[in-house]
Structure 1
Amino acid sequence: MVNLIPSPCLACGFHGAMPLFDGGLQPLATLGWPDNAESSLQMERLRLDFIRCLRCGHIYNQAFEYQQVPYVKHPNLMYNQASLWQAHQQAICQRLAAALPEDPVVIEIGCGSGGFLKQLAQHVGCGQFIGFDPNSGTSLDSDRVSLRPELFVPAKHLAAYQPDLILSRHVLEHLINPLAFIQELAFASSLLGQQPSLFFEVPCVDRVLAFGRLEDLYYEHNSHFTSHSFKAMLQSLDCRVESIETGYNQEVIFGLIKLEPMPLARQIVAETENFSQLARAARQHIPIQIRSLLTAGKRLALWGGTGKGAAFVHHFGLDLPHIPMLVVDSDPDKVGSYVPGSQYRISPRQLLLEEPVDTILIPAQWRAQDIVLEIQAAGIPYQQLLLEHQGQLVDFFNAEHPYRQIFGHALD
């Protein structure tokens, strides 16, 4: 039986993994840099607890804590002067150069000392090349290549540079959540009306799994991409996949995609901003309306003492001793209890026959018509029935709102 771990995958988001390898407690493997035997032996040991997604096969350390990795003190320098590795980089540069428009703007996230970015600039011959790496300790400005010792902030820097290509090599495996990182890039691009190409390269662990290699599993690499999990992550975006391939004897995997618009995301942003605006208006206007009713001598009752009724009380600041208001409920089981977090005792609806009020507030819009029918059937008197709509209290019978007709039955 599989030991199912309900952990969200860092590549596809699936909530379901199984144990892969428990490495116990080990020191940092690439960023510790001890300068003597004593400090080396005293290095802090960190937990290696690698699990594997059951949908895409991604491998990640569920015990990983980013703050334990001292990138600021010791940048993650990768030896890249070997001839075969240089040949691989040259081949990647040639392919990216062929895919770029004339005079492109290229951004590299996690550029290190800028070696790859400079190589790419040489292949292209024109354009602007900007590298971001807060831990590089290097700042460089030339006619075409600029290195920024800072974090890349998608909304800020996409707007400033409008890149044709964003690339990031051997960075995703170090992140807390690589899926969230690329989704933020895609989302920010869409909101800005941009459709850049994205290029990512990471180590590929297909051969690690095939041959049982343990040396690849250490703390600094939080994520380990299989060819399937890498594809799943990129294909989760709204994009056109140009290519996804392995290279360097299948030890790395890289992909080039072209982002596409995200119309639903833009719609969601608009809806969210509209709701936030209505919520602010409601919390400002409805308390004023209630105070005006009280000032005019109106007696108030709230129909519903828990759930939406309680939320109504607290959203609009009615949980104050100086606000006189009856609270009644259709459910006899709630009678005698109190509106959560307030001084209001919940009474039976029959109280409104004995102590009539002028205005009944109905916070449960979704069943407002049923409540009105119940009020009318019980013969409960009232002058006005109000419910919240579009940021203010409106009259159930006289105002325009969508809650007056259900199943073709309209109340007049």
Structure 2
Amino acid sequence: MQPPREISLADFLSILGLIRVNKAVKMVKIVNSTCIACGSGHAVAIFDGEKMPLSTLAFPKTQEQAMKLPKLPHDYVRCLECGHIYNRSFNYDDVPYSDTPYNMYNKGRDWVETLNQISEKVQTYLPENPCVVEIGHGDGSFLTGLSEAVGSGSFYGFDPHGAVVSKGNLVLSKGLFVSETLFSELKPDMLIIRHVAEHLENPLHFVQNLCVGAAMAGQYPTIYLEVPGGDNVVKTFRHGDFYYEHCSLFTSRSLEIMLKNVWGDTVELGSYMNEEVIYGVVKVNDEKRHLMNEAQEFSQIVQDIKVNVKSFLLERVRKGKTVVIWGERGKRRHS
């Protein structure tokens, strides 16, 4: 008797008659699209859900309202560099967060246990009497629990559509975290960004702006970034995970590569719930500040040269001298 043979999920579904596997080689259409996680310019189509209504933020009260819901493009591609999956036709303005806040059920047994594990993980990076900022706190349950577990310190939440609370060392505000002022004002030891990046049109730029903003203010916090994991979605053909409100599906690789492109060092990558939730921890630094310094020096010196040359030429003309300029486009270096 031969031992059982391992087969792929696709072959198993084919045996059951649920799908038809075509072994023929197909031409793959490469599309020009800038990856929102790594910036690469080439991708391949992975899921065309055509046009469908919102899945989690549309709450029609009547059948007529449901029938009239706007249908939005589900045009998902996969980056050929980092493997990130994103809806290249996504428009943030089509998602009405201000009208219908994003509801999360946080009381399931396994999820509560996971939240406790996440809280414990975050606490390992906190100093005594920490200042913690959560961007996108939602109902505030996670930050509230974290503040109670730590006991001391200050805890601030910023979310334009989130809960509003001011109690003890916990302040939840209905607004955005403004890097230009709040890094200097609050001096946070940690930024927590949980289940926010998958909703953004450009998560890479979002994290980059936070890191640069912190470094420019002389602050070097630790950033904990958490997103739903997409590896199992691909492995198990779980097309139900593609819906408009989530314009991104992060894989472990795309999250890792994205965090390598910010002002900081990735100190930890991990997952929870069998990789259904993945996270990265970054320590902000300013090792790339020399690029900014070189640009500023170049700009200032070139401006000085322009002023000096202009002054020199005007002085020659004032004295009645003839001025001849030989050369073009900076190719000649003769006076």
**Unpaired stretches in structure 1, ≥5 consecutive residues:** 299-357, 373-395, 397-412
The residue matched to 2:331 in structure 1 has which SS? Answer: helix
Residue of structure 2 equivalent to 1:367? 331
Q: Which has the larger radius of gyration?
A: 1
Question: How far, CA to CA, are the matches of 1:223 and 1:110 in structure 2?
Answer: 17
Whichever residue aligns with residue 37 of structure 1, its letter is Q
Residue of structure 1 equivalent to 2:132? 106
Cα deviation, 1:133-191, whole Å, max 9, x if unaligned, reads 0122x432222111121111223221211111101100000001111111112222222
Question: How far, CA to CA, are the matches of 2:285 and 2:292 in structure 1?
Answer: 17
Does the CA contact (< 8 Å) of 2:134 and 2:192 recur in 1?
Answer: yes
Q: 1:71 offset after TM fit, Å?
A: 1.4
Q: 1:268 offset after TM fit, Å?
A: 2.5
Does the CA contact (< 8 Å) of 2:272 and 2:278 recur in 1?
Answer: yes
- TM-score after normalising by structure 2: 0.85
Question: How far, CA to CA, are the matches of 1:144 and 1:67 in structure 2?
Answer: 34
Count of matched residue pairs: 309
- TM-score after normalising by structure 1: 0.70
Q: 1:239 offset after TM fit, Å?
A: 3.5
The residue matched to 2:69 in structure 1 has which SS? Answer: coil
Residue of structure 1 equivalent to 2:14? none
Question: How far, CA to CA, are the matches of 2:175 and 2:246 in structure 1?
Answer: 21
Residue of structure 1 equivalent to 2:201? 176
Aligned positions of 1:266-281 closer than 5 A: 266-278=289-301
Residue of structure 2 equivalent to 1:53? 79
Residue of structure 2 equivalent to 1:163? 188
Does the CA contact (< 8 Å) of 2:313 and 2:323 recur in 1?
Answer: no
**Unpaired stretches in structure 2, ≥5 consecutive residues:** 1-26
The 1:273–1:363 alpha-carbon spacing in structure 2 relative to 1, beyond 3 Å, is: farther
Cα deviation, 1:301-345, whole Å, max 9, x if unaligned, reads xxxxxxxxxxxxxxxxxxxxxxxxxxxxxxxxxxxxxxxxxxxxx
Cα deviation, 1:73-95, whole Å, max 9, x if unaligned, reads 22212111211111110111112
Residue of structure 1 equivalent to 2:112? 86
RMSD: 2.2
Q: 1:282 offset after TM fit, Å?
A: 6.4
Larger relative CO (CA 8 A, sep 6+): 1 or 2? 2
Question: How far, CA to CA, are the matches of 2:42 and 2:299 in structure 1?
Answer: 34
Q: Specify which of 130, 147, 161 is matched with residue 172 of structure 2.
A: 147
Residue of structure 2 equivalent to 1:62? 88
Residue of structure 1 equivalent to 2:232? 207
Question: How far, CA to CA, are the matches of 2:86 and 2:318 in structure 1?
Answer: 62
Question: How far, CA to CA, are the matches of 1:364 and 1:135 in structure 2?
Answer: 57
Matched, 1:185 2:210: yes
The residue matched to 2:219 in structure 1 has which SS? Answer: coil
Question: How far, CA to CA, are the matches of 2:166 and 2:302 in structure 1?
Answer: 47
Whichever residue aligns with residue 193 of structure 2, its letter is S
**Identical columns (%):** 36
The residue matched to 2:86 in structure 1 has which SS? Answer: strand
Q: 1:36 offset after TM fit, Å?
A: 1.5
Cα deviation, 1:24-71, whole Å, max 9, x if unaligned, reads 111111112212211111011111100001121110001011111111
The 1:284–1:28 alpha-carbon spacing in structure 2 relative to 1, beyond 3 Å, is: farther
Question: How far, CA to CA, are the matches of 1:290 and 1:220 in structure 2?
Answer: 61
The residue matched to 1:52 in structure 2 has which SS? Answer: strand
Whichever residue aligns with residue 216 of structure 1, its letter is D
